[in-house]
Amino acid sequence: MGKKESSGFNKSIRDVAPLLGLGMQLAATIVITVLFGDWLDNKFQTGYLYTIIFAVLGTFAGLYHFIKSVLDAEKKKNSGEKE
């Protein structure tokens, strides 16, 4: 592996490193909100009402954060290329 190939690989890793944890963060957000909704359903004995509500809210919140992070990373990458 030559020096040029190695530096290209390192640049690629630096570019994607901030995005590597986003999938895990998205999944964790959804799982935590679903578990919270389930806990509320068990506490107030409301069937699946809170589980569904918090699953939807968690999904939207997680996707919002995911998309916002990707767009911010892309904007940062594009501004870095112009310099």
Can you give the pTM of this predicted structure? 0.77
Angle at which helix 22-44 crosses helix 49-82, to 10 degrees, equals: 160
What sign for the dihedral angle of Cα 60, 62, 65, 66? negative
DSSP 83: -
Does the pLDDT at position 8 exceed 80? Answer: yes
pLDDT of residue 48: 97
Does residue 15 belong to any structural domain of this protein?
no
| pLDDT 10s digits, 33-72 | 999 999 999 999 999 999 999 999 999 999 999 999 999 9
Containing structural domain, residue 36: 21-82
pLDDT of residue 14: 81
The total number of structural domains that make up the chain: 1
Does residue 4 belong to any structural domain of this protein?
no
**Cα torsion at 13, 17, 20, 21 (round to 10°)?**
160
